[in-house]
C-alpha cells in the first residue's frame, strides 16, 4: 500500500467533509491513536470525520483509490485494540453520525446513526416506556455502530441476547465506496443473504456501518437487585440456574471475586459489602412491572446456597450502590496497571475447573502476574484481566486461551478478536472456518483497505 499520503488526497478529503473535520496535526489526532486500555498505541496518518453516509462513502472510495487503509472508530472503547491505527492507518471517526430518529412505539424500533452513543439511545427510548436491550458499562462512549461491529454483549444478554439480535436493519459502506442498505423495517425479509447479520461482529473489516434500525424492548418500571457472598462457584451456578427458572424478570447474573472486590473498594474508596471474604460474589437483577423485591427476596430465602451475606435493594440509589461493586471492576483494573484483557466463555459445566486452573496457569508462566476475573455468569463469560505483564509478552494470554480451548470454550465471548487475539484465532476456529472468513474478506475488500490486521494475523 502507498505509504505516502499524496496531498491532493487531503485536499479532496477536506472537500468532502470540510477542512474542520480533517485532522492532520498530531496534537489533534493523538487521542484517536491509542485504545481505552492504553495497551495499544499508534499514530493515525490523519483523522477524517464525515457527517453522513454519503461522506463516508466518498471518503472510503478516495482512501481506497489512494491505497490508504482505514480504521473505523466509534467510541474507541474497544478492549482488543480493534479501533487503533497501529501502522499509521487513517482513522475514520463515526462520531458525527449521531442522529437518532423518531422512536416508533408501535414497531418498538428506532433508526440511529452509527455514531450515536448507547446512553443517547437509552435517553431517546425512555420517554416512550422503551429501552435498548443491550447495556454496557461503557454506555456513555460506546456507539451503536461500534457495538454492532463487535456484536457487543453486556449485562442483559441473559434476557435479550447480544447486539446482533437487536439489529433489525443496517446501512453500510463497503470498501469500494458502495452503499448497502436494508433499513426499511419490514418485519420479515428472507430475500437472499442477510448482509446486516454478516457485518454484525465483523469488527470493521467488511464494511463501515453508517445507520442501524434497532429493536427496543419495554422499559420495566420496577427492579430489584441482590448481591450475595457465596461459598463456591458450584453454589453460584446452581443459584443462577434456579433463578432462571423461578424469576421470569431475571435479566442479569454477574459474578466477581474477592481480589477484584478489594481492587474496586480501594479504587472507589468504598467499604466492602461485608467485613468477611467470600469465595464468589453474585449479583442478580430482576426487572418487570410490579413488585420485584418480594419475589426476589422470597426466592433467595428458600435457596440453600444463600447464607447471611445477602443484600437486596429496590430503590435506584441502593441498586446502583450494589451494581457499582461489579461495574467498577474494569476501571479499577485499569487504574492498577495496563492489563492484558481476555474475554472468554467456557461451557457452564467447565466453569469451576477453568477458575480453579486459571491462576495457576498464569503464575506458572509469570509468577509476578496478578489475575482479576469477573463476568457474566449465566453465559459462562469471564473477563480475565492479567496485570504485571509487559504489553508484548503474550505467554500468559496464550496459556489461558489454550486452557479455554481445551475446555471447549471460546477465546472471545463478546469483545471480538481485534488485534489482541488474532494470533490465537485458530485455537477455537477451524482451518475451514478461517478460510471461509478470509474468502469473504477478500471478496468484499480485495485490497485490504478496511481495518487491515484486525481478526486475521
Ligand atoms: C468500561 C468498559 C466496559 C465494557 N463492557 C463491555 C461489555 O459488557 N460487553 C461488551 O461486549 N463490551 C464491553 N466493552 C467493550 C466495548 O465497549 C464494546 O466493544 C463496544 O461495542 C465498542 O463500541 P465503540 O463505539 O467504542 O467501538 P470502537 O472501540 O470505536 O470500535 C470497536 C471495533 O468496531 C469497529 N467499528 C467501530 N465503529 C464502526 C462502524 N460504524 N462500522 C464498522 N466498524 C466499526 C472498529 O474498527 C473496531 O474494530 C466495555 C468497554 C469498557 C471500556
Q: What is the dihedral of CA 220, 223, 227, 233, to 10 degrees?
A: -40
Nearest Cα to Cα of residue 210 among 240, 179, 244: 179
d(CA 277, CA 152): 32
Interval 45-49 mean pLDDT: 97
Whether residue 230 has pLDDT greater than 60? yes
String of b and e for 440-456 (b: at least 16 CB within 10 Å)?
Answer: ebeebbeebbbbbbbbe
- Nearest ligand 1 atom to the CA of 36 is 53
Residue nearest to atom 46 of ligand 1 (CA): 83
Q: Are strands 280-288 and 222-230 parallel, antiparallel or unpaired?
A: antiparallel
Q: Determine the 3-state secondary structure of 12 from DSSP.
A: helix
Take atom 28 of ligand 1 and give the residue whose Cα is closest: 76
Ligand 1 atom closest to 209 (CA)? 42
Query: What is the crossing angle of helices 53-66 and 7-17, to 10°?
Result: 170
- CA of residue 445 to ligand 1 center, whole Å: 22
* Cell numbers linked to 374: 469477573
Residue 70: pLDDT band (50, 70, 90) is: very high
* pLDDT over 70 at 350, yes or no: yes
Looking at the predicted structure, is the pLDDT value of residue 1 above 90?
no
366 Cα to the center of ligand 1, angstroms: 29
From 77, 87, 97, 378, the mutation candidate for ligand 1 (largest count of ligand atoms within 8 A of CB) is: 77
Which amino acid residue places its CA nearest to atom 2 of ligand 1? 138
How far apart are the C-alpha atoms of 295 and 92, rounded to whole Å? 49
Residue 445 near residue 206 (C-beta atoms within 8 A): yes
Angle formed at CA 345 by CA 145 and CA 419, multiple of 5 degrees: 50
Shortest-distance Cα residue to atom 37 of ligand 1: 146
Q: What is the pTM of this model?
A: 0.92
- Which single residue is written with the C-alpha cell 479504587? 267
Ligand 1 neighbours, Cβ below 6 Å, are 36, 71-79, 82-83, 94, 114, 136-138, 141-143, 145-147, 149-150, 152-154, 203-204, 208-209, 330, 414-415, 451, 454
Q: How far is CA 260 from CA 180, 228, 263, 319, 401, in A?
A: 44, 15, 5, 19, 21
Q: Under a CB-based contact definition with an 8 Å cutoff, are residues 91 and 85 in contact?
A: yes
| Lowest mean pLDDT across 69-73, 74-78, 154-158, 185-189 | 185-189
User: Quick check: 226 and 193 in contact, CB under 8 A?
Assistant: no
User: Could you tell me the distance, in angstroms and rounded to a whole number, from the CA of residue 110 to the centre of ligand 1?
Assistant: 20
Separation of CA 84 and ligand 1 centre (Å): 12
CA of 79 to the centre of ligand 1 (A): 7
Closest residue by Cα to residue 148 from 196, 200, 195, 208:
200
pLDDT in tens, 373-406: 999 999 999 999 999 999 889 999 999 999 999 9
The C-alpha atoms of residue 449 and residue 457 are separated, in whole angstroms, by 15
**What DSSP assignment string belongs to 205-269?**
SS-EEEEEEEE-EE--SEEEEEEEEES-HHHHHHHHHHHHHH-TTEEEEEEE-HHHHHHHHHHHT
Is the pLDDT at 56 greater than 60? The verdict is yes
Q: What number does the ligand 1 atom closest to the CA of 210 have? A: 41
DSSP H/E element including 152: none
pLDDT of 187 > 80? The answer is no
Give 71-133 as a DSSP string: EEESS---SSSTT--TTSPEEEE-TT---B---BTTTTEEEEETT-BHHHHHHHHGGGTEE-S
Q: How far apart are CA 85 and CA 451, in angstroms?
A: 8
State residue 4's pLDDT score. 57
Which grid cell is 53? 453516509
Give residue 185's pLDDT: 77
364 alpha carbon to ligand 1 midpoint, in Å?
32
CA 389/CA 143 separation, integer angstroms:
30
Does residue 41 contact residue 380 with C-beta atoms inside 8 Å?
no
Closest ligand 1 atom to residue 376 Cα is 8
Residue 77 scores a pLDDT above 80: yes
Give me ligand 1 centre to Cα 90, in Å.
18
Contact 60, 208 (CB under 8 A): yes
User: Residue 6: pLDDT band by 50, 70, 90 thresholds?
Assistant: low
Q: How confident is the model at residue 105 (pLDDT cuts 50, 70, 90)?
A: very high
From edge to edge, which strands make up the β-sheet containing 381-387?
Answer: 310-313, 222-230, 280-288, 250-256, 370-376, 381-387, 340-345
Residue 117 alpha carbon, nearest atom of ligand 1:
25
CA of 93 to the centre of ligand 1 (A): 13
* Ligand 1 atom with the shortest distance to the CA of 416: 19
Q: Where does the pLDDT of residue 2 fall: very low under 50, low under 70, confident under 90, or very high at 90 and above?
A: very low
Pocket test for ligand 1, best of 149, 173, 179, 449 (most atoms within 8 A of CB): 149
- Is the pLDDT assigned to residue 414 strictly greater than 90? yes
Q: CA-CA distances (angstroms) from residue 6 to 12, 55, 88, 301?
A: 10, 20, 15, 70
Average pLDDT in the 186-215 region? 94
Q: How far is the CA of 200 from the centre of ligand 1 (A)?
A: 12
Q: What is the pLDDT of residue 457?
A: 83
Which one, of 95, 79, 75, 120, lies nearest residue 23 by Cα?
95
For a ligand 1 pocket test, name from 34, 87, 117, 138 the mutation site with the most ligand atoms within 8 angstroms of its C-beta: 138
Cα(24)–Cα(254) distance, integer angstroms: 43
* Calpha distance 198→195 (Å, rounded): 5
E strand or H helix at 385, and its extent? strand 381-387
C-alpha cell at 245: 427458572
Atom of ligand 1 nearest to the CA of 172: 42
In terms of Cα–Cα distance, which of 169, 210, 208 is closest to 83?
208
Nearest to 199 by CA among 152, 142, 149, 147: 149
pLDDT tens readout for residues 246-303:
999 999 999 999 999 999 999 999 999 999 999 999 999 999 999 999 999 999 999 9
Cα of 141 from ligand 1 centre, angstroms: 9
Amino acid at each position: 500500500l502507498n505509504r505516502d499520503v499524496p496531498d491532493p488526497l487531503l485536499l479532496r478529503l477536506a472537500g468532502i467533509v470540510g477542512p474542520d473535520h480533517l485532522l492532520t496535526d498530531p496534537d489533534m489526532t493523538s487521542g484517536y491513536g491509542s485504545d481505552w486500555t492504553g495497551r495499544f498505541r499508534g499514530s493515525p496518518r490523519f483523522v477524517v470525520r464525515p457527517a453522513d453516509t454519503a461522506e463516508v462513502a466518498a471518503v472510503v472510495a478516495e482512501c481506497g483509490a489512494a491505497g490508504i487503509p482505514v480504521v473505523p472508530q466509534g467510541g474507541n472503547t474497544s478492549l482488543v485494540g480493534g479501533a487503533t491505527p497501529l501502522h499509521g492507518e487513517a482513522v475514520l471517526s463515526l462520531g458525527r453520525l449521531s442522529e437518532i430518529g423518531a422512536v416508533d412505539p408501535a414497531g418498538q424500533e428506532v433508526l440511529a446513526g452509527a455514531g450515536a452513543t448507547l446512553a443517547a439511545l437509552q435517553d431517546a427510548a425512555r420517554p416512550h416506556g422503551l429501552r435498548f436491550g443491550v447495556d454496557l458499562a461503557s454506555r456513555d462512549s460506546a456507539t451503536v455502530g461500534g457495538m454492532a461491529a463487535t456484536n457487543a454483549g453486556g449485562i442483559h444478554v441473559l434476557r435479550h441476547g447480544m447486539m446482533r439480535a437487536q439489529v433489525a436493519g443496517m446501512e453500510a459502506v463497503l470498501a469500494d465506496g458502495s452503499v448497502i442498505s436494508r433499513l426499511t423495517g419490514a418485519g420479515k425479509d428472507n430475500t437472499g443473504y442477510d448482509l446486516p447479520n454478516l457485518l454484525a461482529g465483523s469488527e470493521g473489516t467488511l464494511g463501515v456501518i453508517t445507520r442501524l434500525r434497532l429493536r427496543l424492548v419495554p422499559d420495566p418500571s420496577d427492579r430489584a437487585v441482590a448481591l450475595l457472598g457465596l461459598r463456591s462457584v458450584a453454589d453460584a451456578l446452581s443459584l443462577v440456574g434456579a433463578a432462571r427458572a423461578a424469576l421470569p424478570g431475571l435479566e442479569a447474573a454477574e459474578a466477581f471475586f474477592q481480589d477484584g472486590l478489594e481492587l474496586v473498594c480501594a479504587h472507589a474508596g468504598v467499604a466492602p459489602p461485608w467485613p468477611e471474604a467470600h469465595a464468589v460474589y453474585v449479583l442478580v437483577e430482576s426487572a418487570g412491572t410490579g413488585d420485584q423485591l418480594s419475589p426476589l427476596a422470597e426466592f433467595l430465602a428458600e435457596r440453600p446456597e444463600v447464607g447471611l451475606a445477602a443484600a437486596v435493594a429496590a430503590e435506584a440509589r441502593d441498586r446502583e450502590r450494589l451494581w457499582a461493586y461489579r461495574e467498577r471492576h474494569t476501571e479499577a483494573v485499569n487504574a492498577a496497571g495496563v492489563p492484558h484483557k481476555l474475554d472468554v466463555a467456557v461451557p457452564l459445566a467447565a466453569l469451576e475447573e477453568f477458575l480453579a486452573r486459571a491462576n495457576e496457569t498464569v503464575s506458572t508462566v509469570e509468577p509476578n502476574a496478578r489475575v482479576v476475573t469477573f463476568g457474566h455468569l449465566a453465559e459462562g463469560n469471564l473477563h480475565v484481566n492479567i496485570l504485571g505483564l509487559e504489553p508484548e509478552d503474550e505467554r500468559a494470554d496464550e496459556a489461558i486461551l489454550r486452557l479455554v480451548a481445551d475446555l471447549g470454550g471460546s477465546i472471545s465471548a463478546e469483545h471480538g478478536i481485534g488485534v489482541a487475539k488474532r494470533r490465537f484465532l485458530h485455537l477455537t476456529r477451524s482451518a475451514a472456518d478461517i478460510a471461509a472468513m478470509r474468502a469473504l474478506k477478500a471478496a468484499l475488500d480485495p485490497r485490504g483497505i478496511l481495518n487491515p490486521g484486525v481478526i486475521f494475523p
